[in-house]
Structure formats: structure tokens, C-alpha cells
Structure 1
């Protein structure tokens, strides 16, 4: 998204909206959905025929002017859907959705409500309570009476442990994951399911993640740092170079591929349950709640790809995410991402001599991506982007390998004790 104003202390909240171009008034009337903020700004995800076609940082003085800007952008540079996309298409495959939580996020109630309102019928929701002694999760969900919802306890702290419990409890052949501060679109599960239904070779699907709102400077900075979004073009990754039944193009391969975060994000991902179980689920030496603080999702994507599976990025599966609202939390978050990413790369390096050699070949490109101000990772940062956030992320990369090695030893010792 575009850069910010020169005053780092002032931000008029920017609404983030979805707008179907075909719903526009043919007479050019104003649509209140597109009313800009007091600074004349609005973030719009424009869809055409059900496909996300353009993301527009609107600068306009009225809703009517905003609509004209969005329509023009769509007509000039709309992203076209792959041949296998069917708007409103339905799939038969059943899906388990896993949400892991400590019960500290009150938006969990909204997330569960959005999941229970999904258009996909064959669905169950598994909420994993990762702090059952507190009683917070059951208190938050006490008013939700729906047989599709189950709350499962996992007292071992850590997102990977909680996700593995959700995976073990999932009753359906596809298991999807989102977070307790995320808001899936009504057809999110249907869009994911359609990909698995269309191509039995697909083992993992990720989708588009956009901000739910940009109400603070820190939330805008997170978008400048790249956010969670991976663009609007569908793509796939297969080691054998093959295609998919969906007509997707090969996905981008960045400077550090496949040892980067290019596949997608853990708050919008789904797997064939059998494939993920065969790979051992999520590595409990990685992830939020562990010293490595992240990376378990990236590790799982890479594991699918490196094992010869097919990963698909399908931006029609849309999740809105509530970013950290204050700068201190943003700095801490980016530091954790650096630790987690370095931990995953360390794990790959140690996995085999062949993979280690591959990691070393891509290391110079990865360093350019991290350090070069003109790289795809850094060029979106404005002049007022906090330097402390960039430094914190880079420090995370430096300590990540040591943290991973220590955490891996601890997890292995705990597993050995549990087996006795």
C-alpha cells in the first residue's frame, strides 16, 4: 500500500472494504460503501465476477469519485482468475476448521460466528483451548450453541502443540486453520474446499489475507512491511514442474525460495489432513508460544513442497486480519517473525547435506532481500517507518538459529520422557 503522510503521529483511521464492481450503480450514483475517511483515503478490495481483481489505495473526495477510481483501476489492470475458477462454485469435500486460542482475544467470538456462518455446508469448527485452566475460552463461547462447534483442551502451551491437537481431533479429510483475531469471508471455506475438490494432487492451499482495518499508525506500518498479503494472482508450486487442474500458473520463486514465506500465511491455510499427518504435523520446536516464536506454518508449507506435494495459493479464499494496534507490539511481532524465519531455515539446513547446500546457494539472495532497501521486502516502507522495527526483525534473524537449536533439544527431551 502507499506511503504515509509526513506526520508520524497522525492517522485518520482508514476503512478496508470489499466492493463488487458489478454491483456499481450503472448511473454512476454514490455507493456509501466507498465513502473515504476525512483525509480522503480508503483501502478497497475490488472483486469482479467473484474474483479479487484489484487492491486500490483510494485517494478521493467522495464515494462517487472513489468508485470511478476503482472501476478505472479494474478496467486497466484487473487480475484475471485462472481457468478453473467458478464463481460461487460448491464442493462436496468436508472441512474441519481449527482455531487455537488462549482466550485472551475477545474477537474469538466474532471469528467463531463468521465460521459458523460459512456458505460451505460440510463443516465443523474445532476450537483448541491452549489455556484451559483459565476458563476464558469457555466463558467467551458460553452463548454459542451449535453442534458443529467443539472446544478441545490442550494444556501444553504453544501454537504448534495446539494445532497438532486440532489436527488429531479433526474429523474431516481437509483441515483448515485461522486465528482468533481473524475474520474469514463467508465463502472462505467454500473457496478452499473447491481447490481440493478440483485437484486430488493438491495437499495444501493458502489464501489472501488483508487488514480488517487500518486504525493506527502501527497497523499501517505492518502493511508497509509487507503484511500478510501475497497478491491476487493464483499460483502453485510443485517440484516436478507439473500443473494443476485449476489452470493456475507456477507460483513466484523469490531469491530465497523455497526457504522463505512466499507460500502463504498461517492464518489462512488448509491441508489434506492425511498429508499433514504423514509429515508429522507442526514442529513443536517452532511457533508462537515457543522460544522460536513463529515459523511453524512456513515449515509446514515447505515440508509439503519438499516432500513432492502441491501447494496452491488461491486468493479467492479471503481472510481479514486485525493487526497489532500499537508500535511496541509491532516491533515485538517483527522480531518474532525474524526469529521464526531463521529457525525454519536452520531446521532445513540441518535436515540433509543436499538441502544444506541448497540453503547456502540461496543465502546471498536471502541477505539481499533482508538488507537491501530496494528489495521486495523493504521497498514498501515509508520514510517514517520505525527503524527500531526493522532492527528488531534483523536481530531476530541473528538469534533464531541458536534459539531453534535450544528449543529442539528441549522438545526432544520432553518427547523422550513422554514415551517412557
Structure 2
């Protein structure tokens, strides 16, 4: 089998239905399967998958994963996948009609490629916030890396809403770290960056704008409060995944008073003030990430 489309989901039955519906219109004409990993949902997720099985003439596997955690669910999908390539689509994303074809074609042209990421276009509920700083756009899982197919050089990485892996590389490379990635309502992350960093040791990582997805951003996330929470957990994630925890801890302690002072100095400028508050929040997260390893 050429490809496996994997969707990991937790209590997003309505969004999952739209993600699955987008697979009905794929231009890909080779064999593929769909795996839905239900990560302890309590809504109508299973019924959505069962209903979808009657709409499409391809294998669809429903898996219930009791152990909560996005990395846990993704690793379950990787273990169960029969495809040569494993394509991850977020449960709140909608694939373009050339999504599968674009990713598979890129893998097929070069055996050195171990990971492929595609363009991720935001679908704001309402409109994009005018206060969003350019450096914070990626925290909303927005990716527009290039206008053509290119290799992604470190530190650039694809995002999990639209990322694919060559299945065979997991015979020698461990999959997602399960101490990273979202679990329930926390926003722990960096599992993708950590895995891709290891993949780069032997394989190339590529980006294609020709296999895009639309990623929903609900109104509940379009606030400075949510963004600061996301930044905090990014700091936690960075510290947990790092091998240089002592250095991170000391640097964060030094930086905090500096950013606090700059916040006061730039109170008249809302953008600069928020930028410094963001840095304080991030460094607080890094300190928390180091300390949680010793709890």
C-alpha cells in the first residue's frame, strides 16, 4: 500500500467529520488507507468514522486508544500503518484535493527524503487578530515556508497538522517522544521538532506548497490570553526536550528582570510591551520545564 492517512482525535467529532469529508475528493489514484485513532473521546467520534466507512471505497480503520496523549495516539497510528508513507492530518484541518498526491510524489522522487511537510493555511473563526506579531504566527500552526518545493534546513520544521513520514525509517528511529506533546488540556509540544531533529541525522526534510491543508482556528484561541498560555507551554516544551537544562534555567533567571524592565519602559507601545510580556512568559515556562523534571 502506498500511503496511510492518519488522523488522531479527541472529542472533536464535528471537526473530524469535515477532515474525513475532505478525503472524498482526493486526486490521488493509488492505494491508500485511513486510520482514525480515537484518543479516549466521549462524543460521537466512533459513529462519525462508522458513517464515513460507507461513503468511500478505501480501507478505514478505527482504533480506540485509552492512554491519553497526542504522541501516544500518533505512535499507535505509526505502528498500525500499512502504507509506505504515513501522512498525518489534524482532526481540525481540511485537506486540499491534491494533498495526498503532492506529498507522495515528493517522497517518490528522492529516497533520501524521510519527512515532508505541506503548507498550512489558517481558517480564522472571524478574522485574523490585528495584534498578532509576525514571530507568533507559527504558534497558531500557520506555515507558508516557500513558493516552491524546497528542503527545510534546521531549525525550520513542518507542523503536525500537515506532516508525513517514510514508514521504513521507524525501523531504526524511535517515533514521537511520549513525554512531549499535548495531553488533555495542556499545551505541551516540541514532539515534532524533537523527532524531526533526529530524522535529519540521516534523512532530508522537505516542504511542498502543493499539498496544503486548511487549519481551523476557533474564536476561543483568538485572544492574547490564549496566546500567552501557548507561549508559556512552548517554554515548558523547549526545556523538557533540551539536553542543556542547567543552561536554560540560568539564562532564563537572568533574562526575566531584563524583560520586566523593558515592559515598563515600553508601556506606551502596546506591541513592544506585549513582545516583552511574551518573553517573560516564555522564560517562566522554561524554568517550569526544568523544575518539573525534578518533581
Same fold (TM over 0.5): yes
CA-to-partner distance for each residue in 1:256-309, whole Å, 9 max, x for gaps? x53xxx22211110001121453211111111116561111122221211x222
Q: What is the TM-score normalised by the length of structure 1?
A: 0.56
Equivalent position of 2:17 in the other structure: 109
Structure 1 Cα separation of the partners of residues 275 and 90 of structure 2: 23
Structure 1 counterpart of 2:36, from 127, 147, 169? 127
User: Quick one: which of 144, 147, 162 aligns to 1:230?
Assistant: 144
Where do residues 173-322 of structure 1 align in structure 2 (5 Å cutoff)? Answer: 173-213=84-124, 215-218=126-129, 221=132, 225-227=136-138, 228-233=142-147, 234-237=149-152, 251=153, 257-258=154-155, 262-289=156-183, 293-305=188-200, 307-322=201-216
1:398 paired residue number? 284
* CA positional deviation for 1:119: 1.5
Q: CA deviation at 1:100?
A: 0.8
Q: CA deviation at 1:111?
A: 0.4
CA drift of 1:334 comes to 5.0
Distance 1:319 1:212 in 2: 10
Which 5+ residue runs of structure 1 have no aligned equivalent? 1-92, 238-250, 252-256, 372-382, 411-420
Correspondence list, 1:158-177, <5 A: 158-177=69-88
Distance 1:225 1:95, change over 3 A: same
Matches within 5 A, 1:49-60: none
Q: CA RMSD in A?
A: 3.5
Q: Is the 8 A contact 2:236 2:289 kept in 1?
A: no
Check whether the contact 1:335–1:394 (CA below 8 A) recurs between aligned residues. Answer: no
Q: Is 1:97 matched up with 2:97?
A: no
Note the 1:52-71 alignment, pairs <5 A. Answer: none
Q: CA offsets, 1:165-220, max 9 Å, x none?
A: 11111111100111111111011111000111000110001111111246235498
**Cα 1:299/1:105, change in 2 over 3 Å:** farther
Matches within 5 A, 1:319-334: 319-326=213-220, 331-334=225-228
Distance in 1 between the 2:290 and 2:87 partners? Answer: 26
Q: Could you tell me whether the CA contact under 8 Å between 2:240 and 2:289 is conserved in 1?
A: no
**SS of the residue aligned with 2:51?**
coil
Looking at secondary structure, tell me which structure has more helix per residue.
2
Q: Which stretch of structure 1 is more off in the superposition, 175-184 or 330-339?
A: 330-339
Distance 1:267 1:296 in 2: 13
- The count of aligned residue pairs is 271
Q: Which residues in structure 2 correspond to 1:9-158 (within 5 Å)?
A: 94-121=2-29, 122-132=31-41, 134-144=42-52, 145=54, 146=56, 147-158=58-69
Structure 2 residues not aligned, in runs of 5+: 260-268
Q: Which has the larger radius of gyration?
A: 1
After superposition, the C-alpha distances for 1:305-341 in whole angstroms (9 at most, x for unaligned) are 1x22211111211111111313566633553354235
Distance in 1 between the 2:183 and 2:37 partners? Answer: 14
Structure possessing the higher relative contact order (Cα contacts under 8 Å, 6 or more residues apart): 2
